[in-house]
Amino acid sequence: MRPMLIQMTTRADEIGAIYRTPLMDPLFNTQLQHRKHHDPTESSCYGTGTKPEKIVDLEIVKVAAISPKEKGSTRFCMGAAWRDMHERKSGLRKISEMVKYINDELKMETCVTLGMVDEDQAKQLKDAGLTAYNHNIDTSPEHYPKVISTRSYEDRLQTIKHVQKADLKACICGILSLGETEDDHLGFLHTLATMNVHPESLPINRLVDIKGTPITEKMTNLPLIMPKAIIRLAAGRYTMRENERFLCSMAGSNAIFTGEQMLTTACNGRDEDIAMLRRWGMKPIKSFSKDKLGA
């Protein structure tokens, strides 16, 4: 049976049609898009940063970053459990120092997640050498108020605009198994697809305490809508069997977060990941920076 060719789209009705297409056709088309924009034999691993607590000293971050650097990670991610950066000048200065050290001394890319930021704060991080800023929309605009009350959906989108205006790469996560419906998946995809600038990174998190989420069927839609975005398996991937992770790779995932911990959940270790990639015939890529890759 000849597979149906699927064209990239941002129209809500066409996104819905892709979403409801039987898995084999989107999987075939995802591979076409994936091979057009990325090397299908390459994947990448990223260190997951430090645990949420009072801002740690620079020396502690130095030690924490060295291990993933030595094991081949190319981007170091740091997070603070803050709602926003209001009246956090000291914290922003300390984090900027961490970013500068990791960039200048360890030659690693850096990503931070610090809650909402304004344009000036985003620019300060950019000037320090920050590569990417993580800020999640998590789900559809309609479902969002049912699961998050600390900030609005529009607050999230405004922060992403500030980040991109500062010429930082936007890393925007989605979470599956939040009690959402099929329409919420479509709303999430449509929000991403209609952004003026598509996110550089799309980490997909799996809520750990709900089993059996059909994550692959959802992931095949992302490369068809945003073919140049880097789709990263993130928190909760340790709950998946290896064949499920392999199928996610076939469905367009081309990066993974690695380290002892990812957010508040366990994470697959670097050595385990490297062995897995070798079994699949894949090799780690040095960096996904489009500037460095000449894309």
Rounded-to-integer distance, Cα 196 and Cα 89, Å? 30
Instruction: For residue 45, say whether it is annotated as part of any ligand binding site.
Output: no
Rounded-to-integer distance, Cα 111 and Cα 157, Å? 18
Q: Of 86, 206, 94, nearest to 151 (Cα)?
A: 86
Tell me if 280 sits within 8 A of 249, measured CB to CB.
yes
The gap between the terminal CA atoms of the chain, to the nearest Å, is: 35
Count of residues for the chain? 295
Distance of CA 63 to the CA centre of its chain: 24
Question: Could you read off the pLDDT of 235-281 as tens digits, one per residue?
Answer: 667 777 777 777 777 776 777 776 665 555 666 667 777 787 788 77
DSSP 8-state secondary structure symbol assigned to residue 237: G
Give residue for tokens 């922060």.
Answer: 159
pLDDT at residue 109 above 90? yes
| Per-residue confidence (pLDDT) for residue 121, from 0 to 100 | 95
Output the six-digit token pair for 51. 């645990």
Question: Could you read off the pLDDT of 39-95 as tens digits, one per residue?
Answer: 544 444 545 454 546 778 889 888 888 888 887 788 898 887 777 777 788 889 999
Helix (H, G, I), strand (E, B) or coil at 20: coil
Instruction: For residue 171, say whether it is annotated as part of any ligand binding site.
Output: yes
Question: Domain 22-282, CATH 3.30.70.330 — does that match?
Answer: no
Instruction: For residue 232, say whether it is annotated as part of any ligand binding site.
Output: yes
Give residue for tokens 């385990």.
Answer: 272
| Per-residue confidence (pLDDT) for residue 14, from 0 to 100 | 73
| Per-residue confidence (pLDDT) for residue 98, from 0 to 100 | 94
Q: What is the DSSP string of 105-165?
A: HH--EEEEE-SB--HHHHHHHHHHT--EEE---BS-TTTHHHH--SS-HHHHHHHHHHHHH
Output the six-digit token pair for 194. 């209609």
Q: Residue 230: pLDDT band by 50, 70, 90 thresholds? A: confident
Domain ranges of the chain: 22-282
Average pLDDT score, the chain: 76
Rounded-to-integer distance, Cα 254 and Cα 284, Å? 10
Question: Could you read off the pLDDT of 132-151 as tens digits, one per residue?
Answer: 999 989 889 999 998 888 88
Q: Of 242, 222, 224, 240, nearest to 232 (Cα)?
A: 222
Instruction: For residue 151, say whether it is annotated as part of any ligand binding site.
Output: no
